[in-house]
Structure 1
Amino acid sequence: MNMVQQVKAKYKLIALDLDGTLLTDEKQITQETKRWLQYAIDHGVKVMFSTGRGLQTAQGLWDELGLDSPMVLLNGAEIWEGPGRLKKRVFLPRDTVRNIHAIASERGEWYWGYSVESLTGDKEWTPEMFERDWMKFGIGSHEQQKLAEIKEELLRWGTLEVTRSAPTNMEISVKGTTKESGVQEVCQMLGLSMSDVIAMGDSDNDAKLLKAAGLGVAMANGEDYIKSIADVMTATNNEDGVAQAIRKYVFQME
């Protein structure tokens, strides 16, 4: 027990993106990463997700790690105090969802949405879906120009936050709803400040959080822009980059 007390963590909260960060390309969490996450928890550090995923695809990972900490899902549109304890949901207006859906459909791009009830893709979309409340809507395309045009149109509305988790998609939520806003709320819940946070990510939807955190860590496999705005860089998601960052920056071990 003395060893636990002697080791002091520099940060009190680790905020982790999932895809391309915590998860390998095979969507696994390595044993080495699990070991360092547990080491952090044992030394009083909170470990949380800050992800574009919803509960439908993040719950299993939450359970796998046995975490009882808050979670920021859907790029901040859903915040949990802990397992089964919902703090907040931010819904897109239903008419906005209709309008976004129309743009994606008319242009022949694929799309999906996260509601309380489901993660629904374009193949499963029915008129009944417009009666549900959606927290995040996504549009995908293999043509960068098409995505850029759609993004420009959506941003002109002035009511939306538009980001991406991969070069082939865009993720749409209510303006001001971001991973940063979500982690700020978690900090308020825990009595922490953003300077207590070490955040890790690889994509555009991590940018604001990485800038606002006490330490923003870019994955070596991340987008060039993310690497340019982060404070430091760690190894790739396939090389235990998260574990290395915890060891080096949270516990200052070389």
Structure 2
Amino acid sequence: MTDLFTTNFEKYSDTAMYDQLNEHSKIEIPILLQWIKKENQLLELACGTGRLTIPLAEKGYNVTGVDLHEGMLKKAKEKAAKKEVAIPFYLQDCTQLSFPNQFECLFMVGNSFQHFLTNQSQDALLASVSKHLTNNGLFIFDTRNPILAELSKPDHYVTEFQDYRGYDVKEHHLETYEDGDQLLRCHTNRKYFKNGEYLHSEQDSILLRYTYPLEMARLLASHGFKIEKRYGNWKGDDVSTNAPQMIFICRK
């Protein structure tokens, strides 16, 4: 893949930090379980450190994970081994999946769809998904809802927490949206302290693509997908203009 996705990895360099901030959340599982079956062959795209792949396998689902980040996959394999669950994990580009078989369901959560930054990469992703999905199979994914009242002005905010090493962390975040390319540019300056003493600083950035509802509907239809259900969040609420997310249940 030739767009910026392959260099958009700064946020994921510390897999232990990623797990500390994200591992506890399994909010997607109830809705996923409404749509998938235990006899299905499942493929999780952008599976990361196995946050959902592993608990689904523990419940008896036949699930495979794929990601483009070697460090995240290494962490996923370590966690699966500790849980004593056998999960095939593969290092692959989601826009160029290469499996000999098709799957009854592909899913991609955590707003990973926003990592596909160009029209070309979105098209390549959906073509790859369609190729590896059985007829009548499901593609389930989420993305943040572009709420213009929030995106139209720069957002600066501070978060503070203690990390897995016992360091006190203070993060300054700056987010700016460029409507011309529909990209949110997120920059974080992170300072570390121990017992009140400053240790060092780090910085990282990430780009996230926003896709509008009608744009998404046309995009999915052009790749042979029918939207069966949309949710506004993983609690199952209806989509609205102010809903934080758009969750799509699509059938090929």
- Report if TM-score (shorter chain) is over 0.5: no
TM-score of the two chains, using structure 2 as the length reference: 0.30
Instruction: Pick the structure with more helix per residue.
Output: 1
Instruction: Pick the structure with more strand per residue.
Output: 2
